[in-house]
Structure 1
Amino acid sequence: MHRTLAALLLVAVTTAYPALLSGAGDPAGERLGRLVEEFIPSHMAQRPLDAVALGWHQYDGGFPSLERSALVAEQARLARYEAEFAAIEDRRLSPAQHRDLQAILAAIRTERWKFEQQKAPWRNPMFYAGAVDVSIYLKRDWAPLADRVRSLSAVLRHAPAVMRAAKANLEPQLARPFVETAIEVAEGTASFLEKDVAAFASRVTDPAVLSEFKSANGAAIAVHRQFASWLRAERLPQAHGRFATGAGAFRAMLRAERIDLSPDQVLSVGLKEMKAEQARMREAARVIDPALTPAQVYERISQEHATAADLIPRARQTLEKARQFVVDHALLTPATEVRAQVEETLPPFRSTSTASMDTPGPFETRATTAYYYVTPVEPDWTPKQAEEWLRSLNDYTLEVVNIHEAYPGHYFQGARVNVTPLGVPAKVFSSYPFVEGWAHYCEQMMLEEGYGAGDPVRAAKYRVAQSSEALLRICRLCVAVKMHCHGMTVDQATQFIMENCFYEEKAARPEAMRGTFDPGYCFYTLGKLQLLKLRQDWRLQEGGAFSLKRFHDELLRHGNPQVRTLRELMLRDPKSWRRIL
């Protein structure tokens, strides 16, 4: 089956991007084109859910094998292609080809890091607990309902094999944060399948399709619950606290994103930025009430929040305000007039997400709705837990999150990729530091340009909220290094976050837990700081021709590459390329 799908995918690639795959006549470019022609289909064959999200529906219903032999073969494929792409003479390539080559190399190196350094298939049960993700079939209507239910049923039929592979592949002793989170994810997935997916599929009128779904879904629900029970009985009692990757692996993660810094250099940057951000927060807090500490001021403004019932409607009401500010102040050229739709975060993802953006893929031609997800208060939370959550999404923070996720953050970023003529690699692969760095940069940039200005006290409340978000990202950077390189525990990381960005424990602990399996969440701050440095350097280069609109439009027209790659594309002086901070 994969051979047929790969052939169809190849037709799409060669039709859409003949210039890239022809290599423009140079031997190095021709070699790149031929390798891309091989690599993209083979890569998508192992990641059909990603292919569907990109808009390549030849892969509808596809799912890879997660058996040990298949995973080992995938490691070997990645190693072989890295060697082949790395051997291309980069200096002979055009700027666009250079960008595409670097995007592919970074993607391969990041995937290899997950296999070889993080060892996720062997050490993290979350690799399996969240693998059978059919949410995209509910969210987007690129095909008739019956066809999408048939495809998601095909995916669900793989769930028993996934859980068998998990039990065979996972080491006997696992890190406690991984096990605890995987139990939550597996149980959340089972609930999602039982309630949301079943309700979605019940609208199908074809009895054969519905019967096929019920059989596949029932088995998938059962094996997810069984997996959670197995983890609780067989892995949790002997779980340990050794989740850290180590300094060497952490540095390899940085290098995969073209960041040539040591973990301790990153930590030094983070601690310095924390002091600067805390000073900015103190300045804003004094405007609100000079008699209170910044923590007390944040506590006061956090009391201004929606009710549990009104949280999602409040997000909808305030979202357009951010978009209109971007347009009125000519901060960039919007890629689309289509608005993002605000919805509740789907149940399986609530334990690890406050808010998120889901933009349609660059090759999607039918289901083009974008979704901005906000995690609601859960019905089974205590009043104290609910109040803590609503305070973390107070009125001012919620608008800062709107900026980050949608306007001009992730949604405008993703929409620009979708409409810009780019090579396939630049549309398929994205840099974690650039994607999250851009959204985080937008929070600061919007307030610098006057978002929320007017009444001085109200403007200061927005600045305190934005500083709190910045301090959270800086805390992520610091605890990522400290947990993975210096032995910090989850409890210590939780306390660090509570003390330095004034979060309640209900919101701080998931942030600390995320850091155990996602050390790359240090990239929010690292990416933002790299973009601020690039903006400074580009301003000096452009002189009187500089404007934020020109800078942002130029920045976003290259896809989502590593910031080092953007420096090579946007700055004329090669001596400046290495100075990323």
Structure 2
Amino acid sequence: MLPPLLARFCGLTLMIQLAVRAASPSNATVEASFATASADFLRFNNNLNPVGAVALGLHEYDGKYVVPTAATNEAVRAGLMGFHKRFSAFDRAQLSPTNLRDLSVIENQIGTKLLFADRLRYLQRSPLAYADQPDVSIYLKRDWKPLNERVRDMTALLRLAPAHFAAAQNNLEARLPRPWIELGIEVAEATASFWEKDVANAAAEVSDPAVRAEFATANTAALQAIRAYTTWLKTERLPQATDDFALGREGFSELLSLEMIHLMPERVLEIARRELKAEQARFADAGRIIDPSKPAPEVFLAIQRDHPTEAGLIPDTRRNLEAIRDFVVDRKLVTIPSPVRAQVKETLPPFRATSFASMDTPGPFETKATEAYYYVTPTEKDWTTDQKNEWLTAFNYYTTDVVSIHEAYPGHYVQFLALNASSVTPAAKVFGSYAFIEGWAHYTEQMVIEAGYAGPEPVKHPPTSDDRLRIARYQMAQSNEALLRIARLCCAIQLHCLGMTVDQATDFFVTEAYYQEKPARSEAQRGTFDPGYGFYTLGKLQLLKLRSDWQAQEGDRFTLQRFHDAVLSHGMPPIRILRELMLTNSASWDDIL
């Protein structure tokens, strides 16, 4: 029998052979050949990321993990290059619309992975890439099999933690970007706390003493390894830190092209600045309704002070979630294909440093553990009172409803419910466009507020003065979220193409999006390792343009529900592909913005 690490490496070598085999066997049609290539790429992806495969609901990967050694990383890159060559060989004119859609998301996936591997050199330069791995959280969150079996799987992963962090230290270069080191330390410390407390507490509930003992041994070694990694980052890498995190103009252009946005970064920045000014004007207009004597940021500051306490954050977030769902259903904004509700929970510790709120839905192939979690990031115990209050301002009652629209109804949760219920191919259920996924959720914020959320039904009575004030507060909250996403787009381009620093980006979020210092710095830091976080705005703008064009095409047949159901019926492709699938006028397909 091969040693475990060698066996995993040999498995990846087999996947490379799959990647480079002939694209079109002589006795197969192009369509069948594409289906084979797509299935091969799915297997390759699952083999290199078995933790992700488990999250998809593919439980033959339970308890598996690939240690990211230099040799493994090179094998993965070689496989990606092989698949890039294989998919590039297909003649697009011979592919069906369905396979063209799948080709677009597969090329997006391959291209993004190669971009991070070759241009950002992420695995050689980012401590953050290793800090929350091996990720055992899926085994804690979902109960597709008995706890003792899931603890055995967690034990199998944690046994590999020492090898994982040894590989990290071997892979990482001497001089690394400062924000990536700082975030890597923060996430690694949170992960250690998660393993020591939450994971260990779950394992303690197992009745079998042998399972508990095996877990304790593996967890102790894993904790020693991750803490040694954290110390190494602090003592060996942080003193030599640099500010060299930028993707560069050429790399950023490639990132845009992967989303089928064929515009130069400078042109996108022009669009972003135009949208920023327009959104600031909308923000100011709503502010004047509330208090015409004060500048809009001051008016919104008063709104932000109306926020939950630390203890009330989760129950208060939960409070209006059902009302939002009822509004979406009653107004027929989109079909919600499942009665299962999203559960509001605190963000798990390893993910708090990089997440304000998030949605965790069951994978498209999951049949048992179908829970969905809407995660909200709480304050931390070691924060000062001022830092806690700053953080909670972002969860003021009006903004929290807007965030719930984004994350749950009809944003991410409804989108993934529609995806899981759809008949699209496995590739279309697994791979998706960043701009589509986040653009949809961001688009729904504006759409729901414009549809009348928080206002009276017009057929019942005209709005009272109290109604107008409440509506204006929601408009300011929604507009503030839009300002945040536009500021992200502006900063992403400037951070990665124009030499903007983290301090300058922080100031930008404070002055242009009216954010407080602590969340503004978190946003600026995120921009250094997530250059695509401007796709929220670019996706939303593309969906608004598609809606306008589709409404003109459909005429009296247009309804929001028909449009949204159509958008969600095709998987998660780049929105440029949606234009081909939904618009009959081919001359308009490239007119994306």
Q: TM-score, normalised by structure 2?
A: 0.94
Give the whole-Å Cα distance in 2 for the aligned partners of 1:88 and 1:532: 32
Alignment match, 2:404: 402
Q: How does 1:173-188 map to 2 (within 5 A)?
A: 173-188=175-190
What CA RMSD, in Å, does the superposition of the two structures yield over aligned residues? 1.8
Deviation at 1:352, TM superposition (A): 1.3
Q: Secondary structure at the match of 1:339?
A: coil
Alignment match, 2:221: 219
1:228 and 2:230 matched = yes
Aligned residue identity for 2:537? T
Gaps of at least 5 residues in structure 1 are: 11-20
Alignment match, 1:163: 165
Aligned residue identity for 1:232? K
> Residues 6 and 41 of structure 1 are in contact (CA less than 8 Å); yes or no, is this contact kept in structure 2?
no
Give the whole-Å Cα distance in 2 for the aligned partners of 1:101 and 1:489: 37
Q: Secondary structure at the match of 1:171?
A: coil
Q: Which of 469-478 and 560-569 deviates more?
A: 560-569
Alignment match, 1:13: none
Deviation at 1:37, TM superposition (A): 2.6
Q: Which of 255-264 and 423-432 deviates more?
A: 255-264
Give the whole-Å Cα distance in 1 for the aligned partners of 2:386 and 2:123: 37
Relative to structure 1, the CA distance from residue 497 to residue 3 in structure 2 (aligned partners, 3 Å threshold; closer, same or farther) is closer
Relative to structure 1, the CA distance from residue 208 to residue 523 in structure 2 (aligned partners, 3 Å threshold; closer, same or farther) is same
Give the whole-Å Cα distance in 1 for the aligned partners of 2:55 and 2:552: 39
- CA distances 1:401-452 after superposition (whole Å, capped 9, x unpaired): 0000000000000111111111111011011100000000000000110011
> Residues 31 and 88 of structure 1 are in contact (CA less than 8 Å); yes or no, is this contact kept in structure 2?
no
1:134 and 2:136 matched = yes
Give the whole-Å Cα distance in 2 for the aligned partners of 1:559 and 1:86: 21
Give the whole-Å Cα distance in 2 for the aligned partners of 1:172 and 1:306: 44
Q: Secondary structure at the match of 1:236?
A: helix
Give the whole-Å Cα distance in 2 for the aligned partners of 1:3 and 1:22: 28
1:313 and 2:311 matched = no
- CA distances 1:169-206 after superposition (whole Å, capped 9, x unpaired): 11110010000000001111000000100001110111
Deviation at 1:65, TM superposition (A): 2.5
1:482 and 2:494 matched = yes
Within the candidate set 559, 562, 570, 1:547 is matched to 559
Give the whole-Å Cα distance in 1 for the aligned partners of 2:10 and 2:435: 32
Deviation at 1:6, TM superposition (A): 8.6
Deviation at 1:4, TM superposition (A): 13
Give the whole-Å Cα distance in 2 for the aligned partners of 1:110 and 1:58: 26
Deviation at 1:99, TM superposition (A): 1.1
Alignment match, 2:18: none
Give the whole-Å Cα distance in 2 for the aligned partners of 1:199 and 1:234: 33
- CA distances 1:127-185 after superposition (whole Å, capped 9, x unpaired): 11122111111000001101100011111111111111111111110010000000001
- CA distances 1:452-504 after superposition (whole Å, capped 9, x unpaired): 11400011000001111000000000000011111110011001001111111
Deviation at 1:91, TM superposition (A): 1.7
1:467 and 2:479 matched = yes
1:439 and 2:457 matched = no
Q: Percent identity?
A: 52
Alignment match, 1:350: 352
Alignment match, 2:20: none
Alignment match, 1:16: none
Alignment match, 2:505: 493
Give the whole-Å Cα distance in 2 for the aligned partners of 1:297 and 1:566: 39
1:517 and 2:503 matched = no
Q: Secondary structure at the match of 1:356?
A: strand
1:366 and 2:364 matched = no
Alignment match, 2:277: 275
Alignment match, 1:18: none
Within the candidate set 410, 415, 432, 1:413 is matched to 415
> Residues 8 and 66 of structure 2 are in contact (CA less than 8 Å); yes or no, is this contact kept in structure 1?
no
- CA distances 1:281-300 after superposition (whole Å, capped 9, x unpaired): 11111100001111011101
> Residues 190 and 222 of structure 1 are in contact (CA less than 8 Å); yes or no, is this contact kept in structure 2?
no
Q: How does 1:237-248 map to 2 (within 5 A)?
A: 237-248=239-250
Give the whole-Å Cα distance in 1 for the aligned partners of 2:50 and 2:24: 26
Alignment match, 1:108: 110
Alignment match, 1:564: 576
> Residues 316 and 342 of structure 1 are in contact (CA less than 8 Å); yes or no, is this contact kept in structure 2?
yes
- CA distances 1:356-375 after superposition (whole Å, capped 9, x unpaired): 00000000000000000001
Within the candidate set 69, 75, 78, 1:76 is matched to 78
Alignment match, 2:334: 332
> Residues 437 and 523 of structure 1 are in contact (CA less than 8 Å); yes or no, is this contact kept in structure 2?
yes
Alignment match, 2:377: 375
Relative to structure 1, the CA distance from residue 155 to residue 142 in structure 2 (aligned partners, 3 Å threshold; closer, same or farther) is same
Runs of 4+ in structure 1 displaced over 4 angstroms? 1-7
Give the whole-Å Cα distance in 2 for the aligned partners of 1:492 and 1:216: 44
Q: Secondary structure at the match of 1:557?
A: helix
Relative to structure 1, the CA distance from residue 399 to residue 22 in structure 2 (aligned partners, 3 Å threshold; closer, same or farther) is farther
> Residues 417 and 557 of structure 1 are in contact (CA less than 8 Å); yes or no, is this contact kept in structure 2?
yes
Give the whole-Å Cα distance in 2 for the aligned partners of 1:22 and 1:50: 29
Q: Secondary structure at the match of 2:345?
A: strand
Alignment match, 1:152: 154
Aligned residue identity for 1:392? A
Give the whole-Å Cα distance in 1 for the aligned partners of 2:9 and 2:143: 24
Aligned residue identity for 1:529? L
Give the whole-Å Cα distance in 2 for the aligned partners of 1:430 and 1:332: 20
Give the whole-Å Cα distance in 1 for the aligned partners of 2:286 and 2:350: 37
Relative to structure 1, the CA distance from residue 6 to residue 327 in structure 2 (aligned partners, 3 Å threshold; closer, same or farther) is farther
Q: How does 1:16-27 map to 2 (within 5 A)?
A: 27=29
Alignment match, 1:257: 259
Give the whole-Å Cα distance in 2 for the aligned partners of 1:38 and 1:379: 47
